[in-house]
Structure 1
Amino acid sequence: MSASTQAPARTPSRSATRSTVAPPVRPGQRRARIRTGITRWLFVIPAAIFVAVFFGYPVVKNILMSFQDYTTATFFTGEAPWVGFANYVQVFTSAVFTTSVVNTALFTAGSIVLQFVIGLGLALFFRRHFPLSGFLRGLLLLPWLLPLIASSAVWKWLLDQDSGALNQLLGLVGIAPVPWLVSPSLALIAVIGVNVWLGIPFNTTILYSGLQSVPPELYEAGALDGATGFKAFWYITWPSIRSVVSVVIVLGVVYTLKVVDIILGLTGGGPANSTQTLATNAYHQSFINFQFGIGAAVSNVLIVVSFVFAMVYIAISRKAVDE
């Protein structure tokens, strides 16, 4: 067929051209969009004001205090001389700060590992349906619901060297009283043990919820391929709850870093600063030594560390949502 006999290319009609153009926005639609935007901002603004007043202002004020010589005299004179980074230099060169950093790391790592291992074991145990399983799960939440000061007071009585219930039980089997809270080598272990007891309900509850989301069909299919017992846990359960595990660990780290009540109630940071952490160090500097500027500097270090783990938590949460 020659070129002269070929049909000419079709050009788009006016109707097709018009269909590709977005229709004009009517005045009524524009007003509706404006009203919708204003309504959204009316819901957001109160929350933004609340966050700015009750969270933003304290953080900014704490940062400013860390650069000032802020003491009890400031409350009477209203003057807090600007000292720059002098408070941070004093904090970082202090022997107590080094001790508190090491204790914070040991306290956090020991608490998180034990809480997670025991919590995961209990979550796997309660996944089995047996009589009173619901009642026992509810009973497990009691340590989490009790006020921390009340819990620390009870544990201080239990761990007392002279009249503590634990040492009395050990005495029945011929073991001498153990100085749980007054020995520099044992005090941190005792505090970690109490914090583990308080954190187990949180780990068990979240991990149990994650286990409930694993489809039973995966275990049935895995059993046909020989994946039972530990193999079923390693190849089916663990991959299915990996995102939940990450969230539990990161949140546990953030919560543990700021623990003050338990340590103050049990040992007060002693003996010989053996249980002094960054949180208790900030408390002592501010409310015992009344050096609010130095206490603010220590707490800012803790805020930065917590912020890093908070960003990790947000990243993990977004990744879980995407998956």
Structure 2
Amino acid sequence: MTHVVPQRPTPGEAHMSPTRRRAVAPATTVAGLAFLLPVVIFIAIFLIVPLVRAAILSTQDWTTRSFVTGEAPFIGFGNYLEIFADPDFAAVAWQTVVFTVVSLAVQYVVGLALAVFFTRRFPLSIVLRSLVLVPWLLPVVVSATTWRWMFHQDYGIINAGLFAGTDIGWISTPQLALVAVIIANIWLGIPFNMVMLYGGLQNIPDTVYEAAAIDGATSWRSFISITMPLLWPVTAVTLLLGLVYTLKAFDIIWIITRGGPVNSSHTLATWSYQWAFEGDRALGMGSAVAQILVVVALIFGLIYLRVVRREANS
């Protein structure tokens, strides 16, 4: 038989009459809703409405003529079918996977290495840690323009300094353009990974490492058996946020290569923009590509929530 334990009133409520208590409860609820209202309005205006509008556009035949007449016939999943049938879709999707996976892997590994390095105290550690944050603080337009200059075939510092003046066409060669934007994107994302992982490392108690050292564990063994498991919650958040940011990365690619040459550095984000605002200005097609990105990000978000919930219940 289940026994229900009555909730004890707070000290302030203990001296109130039952009628007064019933009046306080709705007032508290109204106050809570009042604090939530600005957040709900913000999410509705800047998140839900744009997503719904983009989903509607992806089912319409919105062309250059539609910008003048305001008429866009409903075609259902016609835009999606045309996108999947496009000969460039498979290549762009693969380039998106390569761009995302390589960027996330290298950013995480280098960011973790820097985070572990800066947990040690040494002279000028704060100054060096601040310098590592510079790529994260600079506007992406500035960073991307700088990388474009550095990758220039004739006067770029990369060819001049690293390859003895060899005129390698980093952003003009189809086989190298994607490599160039991946390098630039990795440089942008390392500070974020370092900051997130550094904060996670600070929350691991030193006593755990001291106990492992007493038991004879080496530094590498402690890193594998202690650091990585305890750092997993921060790692999951870092990778999820990095995934979303990398999937939607547009400005860094567009400024350096504009998706070229011959679509060799396009990702779904830049391809969506090209469909929507260049050439035939097929806004419906661009919105369809954008919805594919939304679905992919949503799937990984749900996977993350499922893993977190499973760990919380275990």
TM-score by length of 1: 0.89
Aligned pairs for 1:44-193 (under 5 A) are 44-170=36-162, 172=164, 176-193=166-183
1:206 aligned partner, one-letter code: M
1:246 touches 1:316 (CA, 8 Å); kept in 2?
no
Asked whether the 8 Å contact 2:160–2:166 carries over to 1, the reply is: no
Task: Answer yes or no: is the 8 Å Cα contact 1:247–1:317 preserved in 2.
Answer: no
Deviations 1:6-51 (CA, angstroms, capped at 9, x unpaired): xxxxxxxxxxxxx989999821111111111111111122221221
- Which residue of 287, 295, 307 maps to 1:296? 287
Give the residue type in structure 1 aligned to 2:43. Answer: V
Give the distance between the partners of 2:200 and 2:38, measured in 1 at CA. 34
Structure 1 residue runs without a partner (length 5+): 1-18
In the aligned structure 2, how far is the partner of 1:231 from the partner of 1:22?
50
Q: 1:145 Cα shift? A: 0.9
**Distance in 1 (alpha carbons) for counterparts of 2:59 and 2:91:** 23
The yes-or-no answer on 1:238 pairing with 2:240 is: no
The residue number in structure 1 matching 2:272 is: 282
Residues 205, 321 of structure 1: CA spacing in aligned structure 2 closer, same or farther, 3 A cutoff?
farther
Q: Give distance in 1, aligned partners of 2:54 and 2:102.
A: 30
Equivalent position amino acid for 1:306 in 2: A
**1:290-310 superposed Cα distances (whole Å, 9 cap, x missing partner):** 100100111000110011122
Q: In the alignment, which residue of structure 2 is the partner of 1:8?
A: none
Post-superposition CA distance 1:98-157 (Å, at most 9, x none)? 111000000001001100111111111111000111111111111001111110100000
Alignment of 1:9-20 (within 5 A): none
Aligned match of 2:12: none
Counterpart selection for 1:42 from 22, 30, 34: 34
Q: Equivalent residue for 2:13?
A: none
Cα deviation for residue 91 of structure 1 reads: 0.5
> Hey, what does 1:263 align to over in structure 2?
253
Deviation for aligned residue 1:73:
2.2
Residues 146-184 of structure 1 deviation map (CA, whole Å, 9 limit, x = unaligned): 111110100000010011111111454xx6221111111
Paired residues of 1:263 and 1:275 also in contact (CA < 8 A): yes
> Number of paired residues?
303
Q: Over alpha carbons, which structure has the higher Rg?
A: 1
Structure 1 196/220 Cα, relative in aligned 2: closer, same or farther at 3 Å? same
- Could you tell me the percent identity over the aligned residues? 43
> 1:75 Cα shift?
2.8
Whole-Å Cα distance in 1 between the matches of residues 193 and 8 of structure 2? 53
AA in 2 matched with 1:102: W
**Closer, same or farther: CA 21–228 of 1 in aligned 2, 3 Å:** closer
TM-score, scaled to structure 2: 0.91
Deviation of the 1:318 alpha carbon: 4.8
Distance 2:130 2:6 in 1: 61
Question: How do 1:204-223 residues align onto structure 2 when only pairs under 5 Å count?
Answer: 204-223=194-213
Q: Is the 8 A contact 1:188 1:274 kept in 2?
A: yes
Q: Alpha carbons of 1:171 and 1:188: their partners in 2 closer, same or farther (altered >3 Å)?
A: closer
Instruction: Report the counterpart of residue 308 of structure 1 in structure 2.
Output: 299
State the 1:316 CA deviation: 4.7
Q: How far apart are the structure 2 equivalents of 1:226 and 1:97?
A: 54
Instruction: Give the aligned residue type for 1:34.
Output: P
- Whether the 8 Å contact between 1:243 and 1:316 is mirrored in structure 2 is no
